[in-house]
Amino acid sequence: GYGPAFSPTHPLALAPVGSPPHSVDGFVAAFLAELNTKQGVALSHSSTNAQYLALAGTVRQYLMARWLETSRKTHEAKAKTVGYLSAEYLLGRQLGNALMASDLNEIAEKGLAQCGIDLTTLRNQEVEPGLGNGGLGRLAACFIDSLATMDVPCIGYGIRYEYGIFRQTFVDGRQVEQPDTWLALGSPWEFPHPDESVQVNFGGYTEKSVDADGREKTTWVPSWNVLGVPYNYMVPGYLNGRVNPLRLWSAQATKAFDLSIFNAGDYAEAVRAQTFAENISKVLYPEDSTPQGKELRLQQQYFFVACSLRDFLDHELEEGFDLHDLPSRIIFQLNDTHPVIAVPELMRILMDERGFDWEEAWEVTHQCFAYTCHTLLPEALEVWSTDLLGRLLPRHLEIIYGINDRFLAEVREAFPGDELRAGRMSIITEYPERGVRMAYLATVAATKVNGVAELHSQLLRDKVLPDFSALWPERFTNVTNGVTPRRFLKMANPKLSDVICDAIGSGWVTDLERLKELETYALDDDFLAAFREAKDWNKRRLTTLLRNRDGIDLPDGHLLDVMVKRLHEYKRQTLKLLHVVSLYEQVLSGKLAPADLTPRTVVFGAKAAPGYRMAKDIIHLINRVARTVNADPCLEGRLKVAFPANYNVTLAEKLIPAADLSEQISLAGMEASGTGNMKFALNGALTIGTDDGANVEIRRLVGDEHFFLFGMSEPEVAALGARGYDPGAYYQGNAAIRAAIDLINSGIFSDGDRGMFESVTMSLTHHDRFMALADFESYVAAQARVEERYADQESWTRSAVLNVARSGYFSSDRSMRDYLRRIWHTQPML
């Protein structure tokens, strides 16, 4: 069945042959051997980094035999595999997860202590692989964790960026980006396999010929190529012995350098080709949801997808496998449109290399792909100019035209005479230039198309792809996102995990719905006390971290109000900020006595895309407001704003467990799902949120009394938009809004410079594309309800417990079961 695969007595859960013994002594011996023979240092002279690398190497030894065994078992069973194609994997640190999955925490801690080493110090040595921007990349990481834990064969395919998401620093409150040199101190979790490199072609032209049987044949004559070198990462299941591969591709020049040019003395020119090729996997594009249509990005997309298809066909299938049966062995899940060029690539391989005719090739291709859309923002939908595509991938563009011709014929047959419809649905758009709409190509090709939360999937059908859902209603489905309970509860919140285990045992780690059993404990005073003690411990841990990491002091006993996510106007960090500024303004103007404020610390964490001006201005404003508010003695002990730089998975793991209040305040209809919202609820924060994305489902499950809903619903937003939204009217009509915006414009946050934040305030009062002003009053009223509830600590804690108890649905294990049933039609191996 589809049940979770947890089984501590699973034969592979025991130490397999080839692993060091599962004991402190065995561990120490393996660790010291790693340190001496791999790092080449004696314990007495070893640096923290050498110790960390040796520890990682040791843990790897434990996983190694399971990894080999998993691969053998999967090949032998000829099991159907999930090929997860994603340009991003926001993995977070590997060490803690690997220790947890192989049940080595205690052994490692004791063993290292014998060597005089503190495990926590080594954990903190790791630089997280930040190979993603935000939700989409983190979701991919949660999904591959769940598949391994559920014993489902999966290969994650992606790009080994040499530089991941930039490191954010603040200089005078402004974001300044630093390169993410995550590989600099060594990369102990990867296995490069240059022997399995794949050649990827680009450019050139196509040639038509007729073969001996009179069939037309197309040959692509490319003009340049690069090598894709695979790097394997281990994705361990939780205590079940499975270790799936994550295969990330790195670009290398086919020729290291041109010896004749080198010999002639032009060194720079001799390595030019190499530099050019290696640029492909050099850096992650830091735009979240706003593709720029850059040539290098298209190169990245085709590069990793071409490597991955080639890899699967050549290395995962037996010799002589009949590719007509390919759908019985693989389903490629397209994580948004970034990998959609895989569709014409598979068509090309089947037709041009394996002699399939169009219909045969299309039948197989259609069955092999499914597509997940992660957005509703029109500017996030990728469109590649045919000019660029034709130059880089001429054969693929031809195939795309072929797909479109046949598709439009189908549309005309289903809706005779409806030329407007055919025009609307065409994969090729003519404006603003001729381009390929990748979301349309994905929808035409895929067996299933899904959104990532119920509301999102409905809006996807009704607003983004209505013509397609009219043509193929059965193609559309929903799978609500989820998060891994291993990383985001057991590992990130060990204190709460212990409290939960003491009450209901440990089965929840792989069967999160069992948290339901906590409901009865919501009335148990001892449990509530233990729960609150865990929250306090998490706050102390965060206090220590932020003091050391950022020099930020968190006051004791504050309501911890947290908004962490990418900086985007639709997410409305400005709404949260206006609330803060409004409170401050009321104190300054004597409308509110500081003593009447609920002591509160507002924490922001957010990176802005480097080219997104408004987002960067908002970051600057948040930092300036923080500086002023935190320095004003009249708010001392009452209101504080903290904005630690460089929010990432590692910081999230400390921040989320400490939070009291989770801010999920996007304009309804804009946030596809959100996954941070799930992590907060699961860790016992209450949500203040709009009826958007997965918030809808969170509220339905935890119950209205335990969730602070505010703002317009999606239909109300649509209606207001249709009537014509005038933010100026809210500015004029609402004294609190006016006072807050005027305070910003007064220069109080900008050393008297009244123009410094004009871009932000003008945008709010004149455009306010995401209607922050329209929802302000409702938001403030909801915050008042928050404060009222927080004053009754017992009632608050009870709600927090019920949030935990009722969040089991948001496990990514459940998401995976939904994908298995509704989309992939495959099962755990067990």
- Candidates 289, 443, 573, 750: give the one binding ligand AZC (CB under 6 A): 289
Closest CB to ligand AZC among residues 351, 380: 380
What is the rounded (10 degree) CA torsion for 65, 250, 156, 362? Answer: -130
Nearest Cα residue to 449 out of 438, 1, 140: 438
Closest CB to ligand AZC among residues 54, 370: 370
- Candidates 111, 134, 327, 644: give the one binding ligand AZC (CB under 6 A): 134
- Window contacting ligand AZC (CB under 6 A); options: 130-138, 170-178, 515-523, 535-543: 130-138
**Quick check: is 679 catalytic?**
yes
Q: Is 139 in the site for ligand AZC (CB under 6 A)?
A: yes
- Window contacting ligand AZC (CB under 6 A); options: 236-244, 391-399, 668-676, 822-830: 668-676
**Shortest Å distance, C-beta 91 to ligand AZC:** 15
- Window contacting ligand AZC (CB under 6 A); options: 225-233, 433-441, 670-678, 700-708: 670-678
Q: Is 284 in the site for ligand AZC (CB under 6 A)?
A: no
Nearest Cα residue to 133 out of 375, 404, 474: 375
Beta-sheet pairing, 559-564 with 600-605: parallel
- Window contacting ligand AZC (CB under 6 A); options: 128-136, 362-370, 520-528, 729-737: 128-136
**Shortest Å distance, C-beta 380 to ligand AZC:** 5
Distance in angstroms (rounded) separating the CA atoms of residues 490 and 105: 12
Q: Is 375 in the site for ligand AZC (CB under 6 A)?
A: yes
Q: Is 389 in the site for ligand AZC (CB under 6 A)?
A: no
Inter-helix orientation angle 438-445/394-414, to 10°: 70
Nearest Cα residue to 746 out of 581, 525, 509, 563: 581
The CA-to-CA distance between both ends of the chain, in Å, stands at 9
Q: Is 679 in the site for ligand AZC (CB under 6 A)?
A: no
**Shortest Å distance, C-beta 607 to ligand AZC:** 12
**Shortest Å distance, C-beta 301 to ligand AZC:** 13
**Shortest Å distance, C-beta 158 to ligand AZC:** 15
Q: Tell me the CA distances in angstroms from 693 to 374, 452, 671, one per residue in order.
A: 11, 8, 5
Residue, CB closest to ligand AZC: 135
**Shortest Å distance, C-beta 89 to ligand AZC:** 12
Q: Residues 565, 579, 616, 798: which is the catalytic one? A: 565
Contact indicator for 160, 249 with CB cutoff of 8 Å:
yes
Q: Is 693 in the site for ligand AZC (CB under 6 A)?
A: yes
Q: Residues 242, 329, 571, 817: which is the catalytic one? A: 571
Q: Which helix (H) or strand (E) holds 662?
A: strand 661-664
- Candidates 126, 145, 151, 336: give the one binding ligand AZC (CB under 6 A): 336
Distance in angstroms (rounded) separating the CA atoms of residues 680 and 149: 22
3 state DSSP class of 417: coil
Q: Which helix (H) or strand (E) holds 482?
A: none
Q: Is 686 in the site for ligand AZC (CB under 6 A)?
A: no
What is the rounded (10 degree) CA torsion for 614, 620, 621, 623? Answer: 150
- Window contacting ligand AZC (CB under 6 A); options: 71-79, 190-198, 387-395, 671-679: 671-679
Nearest Cα residue to 688 out of 711, 707, 703: 707
**Shortest Å distance, C-beta 292 to ligand AZC:** 12
Q: Tokens 């919202």 appear where?
A: 677
- Window contacting ligand AZC (CB under 6 A); options: 10-18, 252-260, 373-381, 460-468: 373-381
Q: Is 673 in the site for ligand AZC (CB under 6 A)?
A: yes
Nearest Cα residue to 541 out of 505, 496, 589: 496
- Candidates 87, 136, 471, 681: give the one binding ligand AZC (CB under 6 A): 136
Contact indicator for 688, 786 with CB cutoff of 8 Å:
yes
- Single-letter residue type at 218: T
- Single-letter residue type at 205: Y
Nearest Cα residue to 369 out of 308, 456, 321, 421: 308
- Spatial neighbors of 52 by CB under 8 A, at least 6 apart, are 95, 122, 125, 126, 188
Closest CB to ligand AZC among residues 188, 482: 482
Binding mask 422-461 for ligand AZC (x = CB under 6 A): ------------------------------x---------
- Window contacting ligand AZC (CB under 6 A); options: 220-228, 531-539, 647-655, 672-680: 672-680
**Quick check: is 374 catalytic?**
yes
Contact indicator for 767, 727 with CB cutoff of 8 Å:
yes
Provide, for the chain, the percentages of residues in helix, strand and coil under a 3-state DSSP scheme, each rounded to the nearest 5: 55, 15, 30
Q: Is 675 in the site for ligand AZC (CB under 6 A)?
A: yes
Pair of tokens at residue 397: 């563009």
What stretches of 169-266 show up as alpha helix (H) in DSSP?
Answer: 259-263
Q: Is 701 in the site for ligand AZC (CB under 6 A)?
A: no
**Quick check: is 571 catalytic?**
yes
Q: Residues 149, 375, 443, 675: which is the catalytic one? A: 675
Q: Residues 160, 566, 624, 640: which is the catalytic one? A: 566
Please, which of residues 477-506 interact with ligand AZC by CB under 6 A? 481
Pair of tokens at residue 607: 């990176």
Residues that bind ligand AZC (CB under 6 A): 134-136, 139, 288-289, 336, 374-375, 380, 452, 481, 671-675, 693
**Could you list the active site residues?**
374, 565-566, 571, 675, 679
